[in-house]
Amino acid sequence: MLVRDAMSTVVLTIGPAHTLRQAAALMSARRVGAAIVHDPDAGGIGILTERDVLNSVGLGQSPDTEHVHAHTTTDVVFATPTWTLEEAARAMAHGGFRHLIVLDRDEPVGVVSVRDIIRCWAPARQAHHVPA
């Protein structure tokens, strides 16, 4: 199975000047755990995850005054739609992250998460364990 079969195409793109509260509200409304951050001044495409918001709040920072650019991961590993789910899972495990931005011709077309991979793998694993 390929990344394109598992990825979410409900992509939330936000700007670096959004506050963390605004980003969290948009992520919650879209029911996504990560947002693509488009910041031409910082090198293009980054990612903000629910964990980034949680870490900021846990440090006592205000989500009303903290801006996305200060919490965006810009050293991003990108997947392509034609990667296998094994390749995506290996990249996530190696990098210690739970989301990959999927690029097609240098444009974001989706996000694949650990949850997406599990959702695809679980039925296949169950099919191999048929009770006697």
Q: Alpha helix locations (H) across the chain?
A: 3-6, 20-30, 50-58, 85-95, 114-128
* Residue ranges making up the domain that contains 81: 3-128
CATH code of the domain covering residue 14: 3.10.580.10
Which are the contacts of 67, defined by CB distance < 8 A and separation ≥ 6? 16, 17, 18, 19, 20
Q: How many domains does the chain have?
A: 1
The pLDDT of residue 129:
54
The pLDDT of residue 54:
96
The pLDDT of residue 75:
85
The pLDDT of residue 79:
96
The pLDDT of residue 106:
86
Task: Determine if residue 15 is left, alpha or beta; phi over 0 gives left, psi from -120 to 50 gives alpha, anything else beta.
Answer: beta
Query: Angle at the Cα of 42 (from 21 to 52), degrees rounded to 5?
Result: 35
Q: From the first residue on, what is the mean pLDDT of each consecutive set of 10 residues in the chain (132 residues)?
A: 93 95 96 90 86 97 97 91 97 94 92 94 64 54
Global confidence as pTM: 0.84
The pLDDT of residue 56:
97
